Amino acid sequence: MIIDITEVQAINSFSRLESLKEVFETIWMLFPILILIFGITIGVLVIVWLEREISAGIQQRVGPEYAGPLGILQALADGTKLLFKENLIPSRGDTHLFSIGPSIAVISILISYSVIPFGSRLVLADLSIGVFLWIAISSIAPIGLLMSGYGSNNKYSFLGGLRAAAQSISYEIPLALCVLAISLLSNSSSTVDIVEAQSKYGFWGWNLWRQPIGFIVFIISSLAECERLPFDLPEAEEELVAGYQTEYSGIKFGLFYVASYLNLLISSLFVTVLYLGGWNFSIPYIYISEFFEINKVDGVFGTTLDIFITLVKTFLFLFITITTRWTLPRLRMDQLLNLGWKFLLPISLGNLLLTTSFQLLSL
């Protein structure tokens, strides 16, 4: 049997091309994920800098100013410092739970970013159950905090973990009921569909005006889920040293720090998506269509505009959240649970019933 060398070379070159094609397709699939992670990282660094600057302004002191221009690289410097610190593990603690707890808290929040739309075609996963996927996945984070508190073999850490679990359970139900009301109004649970349902009348089409009670309940529940003041009982310094973070150091302590800001950012993004019209411009395009159809712009400019509008709305809400930290005192544990179970839960249930009745009557 005579083997043609040219045929063998052609087969080899074809197989190499197929392998390169598979590698290229894999890289292209990972590219949007890497872009999203890079954007989230920049967003967290900006939020940390903003919080320090706003806090310094409220307290009439000088904020970060040495690391980079206007101190904007201070968060990066702090993260680098934590990377080189010793990673201590309690001698009598549960090593596995202690080590895996911070990772669960961060990963569960990161996955939730996949359903956030930054534009009409700028979403990693446009799922039909997008908003409820966020609620389901975000409920995993408190399990990581509870594991961290239990694995630390420290009474303060364990109490902090228990508080985090109790707080999350208390405020997730009103949060889910508010999201359900929005889904009923939009006839969809997809984040993209919810934003597009608010696009017809611009500023007046936002769910903020159709769901004012749900908006207030959602904000309060989001602050509680993020463990921000006045709901930071799981890590109350005066009572629990640092709560579930007490025994942590180095990069694991940094993961908790990152998780809190990731949670704050995604909550603000969901406020923008569910209530503030997402990427839509505030001016109704039906009034200015003959001049400039701002809500229908395509291409690079339209994509950039979508991202810019989404981020502006998000950071405006973040400013309110950061200011609240220095405005309200911390609640007691009984006050926190009473607010969740005795006030927000009945109000959110009533809001859902009103929304359902309105939708049935409008059929």
> Which carries the bigger pLDDT value, residue 357 or residue 201?
357
Tens of pLDDT along 48-62?
888 888 888 888 888
Sign of CA dihedral 58, 64, 65, 68: negative
64-78 pLDDT, tens digit each: 878 778 788 888 888
Tell me the per-residue pLDDT of 84-116, one tens digit each, with 9 for 90 and over: 888 878 877 788 888 888 888 889 889 989 899
* Cα 116–Cα 124–Cα 122 angle in degrees, nearest 5: 75
pLDDT digits (tens, 9 = 90+) for 172-214: 999 999 999 999 998 888 899 999 888 877 788 899 999 999 9
Per-residue pLDDT, 226: 86
Residue of 346, 351, 303 whose CA lies nearest to 118: 303
Summarize pLDDT for 116-145 with one digit per residue, the tens. Answer: 998 878 888 888 888 888 888 888 888 888
CA 207, CA 209: separation in Å to the nearest integer? Answer: 5
Give the pLDDT score at 292: 45
Nearest C-alpha neighbor of 117 from the set 125, 128, 129: 125
- CB contact set of 206 (below 8 Å; sequence gap of 6+): 198, 275, 276, 277
Q: What digits encode the pLDDT tens for the residues 214-260?
A: 999 999 999 998 888 788 887 776 666 677 888 888 888 888 888 88
- pLDDT score of 15 more than 70: no
Q: Six-digit token pair at 77?
A: 């410097």
CA atoms within 13 A on the CB side of 14: 6
Sign of CA pseudo-dihedral 179, 185, 186, 189: positive
Q: Which of 312, 296, 243 is nearest to 43 (CA)?
A: 312
Please provide the DSSP assignment of 132-186 as one string.
Answer: HHHHHHHTTHHHHHHHHHHHTT-HHHHHHHHHHHHHHHHHHHHHHHHHHHHHHHH
